[in-house]
Amino acid sequence: MATAVSPKTYRNFINGEWVEPKNGKTTENRNPANQDELIGLFAAGDERDVVAAVEAASQAYRSWRRVPAPKRAEILFRAAQLLVARKEELSRDMTREMGKVLAETKGDVQEAIDMTYYMAGEGRRQFGQTTPSELQNKFAMTVREPVGVCGLITPWNFPMAIPSWKMMPALALGNTVVIKPATDTPLSVCHLVEVLTEAGLPPGVVNIVMGHGGAVGTPLLKHESVKVVSFTGSTEVGRKVSEGCAPQFKHCHLEMGGKNIILVMDDANLDLAVDGAVWGGFGTTGQRCTATSRIGVHKKVYKEFVERFVARVKALRVGDGLDPAMEVGPLVNQSQLETVMSYVEIGKSEGAKLAAGGHRLDQGGHAKGWFHEPTIFADCDPKMRICQEEIFGPVVSVMPIEGYEQAIEVANGVVYGLSSSIYTRDLNRAFHAMRELDTGIVYVNAPTIGAETHLPFGGIKQTGNGHREAAVAGLDVFSEWKTIYVDYSDRLQRAQIDTGSFGRME
Ligand code: UN1
């Protein structure tokens, strides 16, 4: 395919240098809104590059862990300022490589800014505990210790935000990093690391190895010097990551699929619920792990809700995310588009009512990209595959609900547990739902997307493995607690022992 200018080549970043992958291979990265536009050629590395990067990170760890945390944080503060200054250009490049509309890529960069400032603040916190000992003249405390080299495997849907969620806490705590960005969105990770380097990060503290999961991700997570693996992606791959980490008992943090629901009760503010459903379902073209992909609506307001929701969704403007008039961008790649199209067929064959969309868009301004109409299935049964499986695209399944009890049952009746939402004006019911909804994140009168960086992010059931990222909770993945007892009594004191002495006559 033709390109106007000769494409730039992006190499791996190892020990502070941009270096050719050992195999000399690259892959093309094209704009999902316009396949004629080549974003660049990116390294397609393999295990040998991983070994070199882990070696660099292991070396750098020796000194980085000893840099006082507030000094490490100063580099993050500077990086955050550079991100602020470059927000516009970084966002434009992100829209070109990933497709989501500019307002949203600005949000993505903003989320990275927020996380960088937040974790820079942790340079002067990282609080442990001091607590009384049960013995006299004995002091007890806990401190956080870094763990070592962290292997980060990041997704394409939040090309800068999610890498920052993992990188910034790791760095603030004194770890070093090897990151494997998603093959669809390596550019934003290159930009993030350029900014960190400019802000003064020493060589080897962050390294990038680009390439495919099997060639780079697997050797990264299995390398014995990699002590922490943090992965965001599908549940299927997450299971393999978990298995790969198990033999060496690595810290393994997994953030996986979702099948997030909005519940609309009969007393809901319907205007608000429709606004939330449109944004939650079709923001980021539905490609968020928090995206609203199911809506359960009380039968008393069902007809009206569906009518209004369908009308709004049919009017959404789909196109190139750099055009400010557009509200919904393309899917990230062909395979994602094909997944969406196959789920549309599944929905139809299951007997759901196609109420909006349902087709690929490939004419006119859409001819060169991976566009799909925002799609609504109505009158769905909660057991249908389109109401159970993660689609990760612009498809929302709407189900009529008998009442509150059934709403909770339907909400919890999936294997995932990331985010959920209830629209109601009944305070008692809202609090009841906050307790009963089996998800890591619950929203009241707001859609299922929109997490903020100073609160824990993550899910239960097949969404996560018991960890959280962001906030103080996110520090736990990248640190070990060390418990320290200092006995200043000058005699042997034995915890839990009532009387007597040991090995010595009284
Ligand atoms: C994701 O979908 O992978 O809460 C992350 C949100 C965003 C992050 C989403 N702040 O929707």
In single-letter form, the type of residue at position 136 comes to Q
The neighbour count for residue 279, using CB atoms within 10 Å, is 18
pLDDT reading at 359 higher than 50? yes
Residue 492, classified by CB atoms within 10 Å of its CB into exposed (0-12), middle (13-18) or buried (19+), is: exposed
299-320: average pLDDT: 98
Tell me how far the alpha carbon of residue 290 lies from the centroid of ligand 1, in angstroms: 6
Predicted local confidence at residue 5, as pLDDT: 60
Tell me how far the alpha carbon of residue 443 lies from the centroid of ligand 1, in angstroms: 13
Predicted local confidence at residue 260, as pLDDT: 98
Among protein residues, the one whose CA lies closest to atom 11 of ligand 1: 449
Q: Do domains 18-23+39-256+464-483 and 260-444 have the same CATH topology?
A: no
Residue to probe by mutation, ligand 1, list 118, 449, 454, 468, most atoms within 8 Å of CB:
449
Per residue in 85-125, pLDDT (tens digit) is 999 999 999 999 999 999 999 999 999 999 999 999 999 99
Atom of ligand 1 nearest to the CA of 449: 11
Collapsed DSSP state (helix, strand, coil) of residue 189: helix
289 classed as catalytic:
yes
Residue to probe by mutation, ligand 1, list 156, 288, 448, most atoms within 8 Å of CB:
288
Predicted local confidence at residue 27, as pLDDT: 97
pLDDT reading at 1 higher than 50? no
Give 502's pLDDT tier (boundaries 50, 70, 90): confident
Tell me how far the alpha carbon of residue 453 lies from the centroid of ligand 1, in angstroms: 10
Q: Can you identify the CATH homologous superfamily of domain 18-23+39-256+464-483?
A: Aldehyde Dehydrogenase; Chain A, domain 1 (3.40.605.10)
Tell me how far the alpha carbon of residue 289 lies from the centroid of ligand 1, in angstroms: 6
pTM over 0.75: yes
Atom of ligand 1 nearest to the CA of 258: 2
Per residue in 415-427, pLDDT (tens digit) is 999 999 999 999 9
Residue 500, classified by CB atoms within 10 Å of its CB into exposed (0-12), middle (13-18) or buried (19+), is: exposed
255 classed as catalytic:
yes
pLDDT reading at 326 higher than 80? yes
For the chain, give the mean pLDDT: 97
- Cα angle value 327/110/421 (rounded, 5°): 65
Domain 260-444, CATH: 3.40.309.10
From the candidates 97, 111, 122, 255, give the one annotated as an active-site residue.
Answer: 255
Residue 467, classified by CB atoms within 10 Å of its CB into exposed (0-12), middle (13-18) or buried (19+), is: middle
From the candidates 190, 289, 380, 387, give the one annotated as an active-site residue.
Answer: 289
pLDDT reading at 71 higher than 70? yes
Predicted local confidence at residue 506, as pLDDT: 54
261-277: average pLDDT: 98
Query: Which residue ranges have their beta carbon within 6 Å of ligand 1?
Result: 111, 157-158, 288-290, 449-451
The domain locations on the chain are 18-23+39-256+464-483, 260-444
Atom of ligand 1 nearest to the CA of 450: 4
Measured CA to CA, the distance from residue 292 to residue 420 in angstroms comes to: 8
Backbone angles phi, psi at 214, to 5 degrees: -65, -40
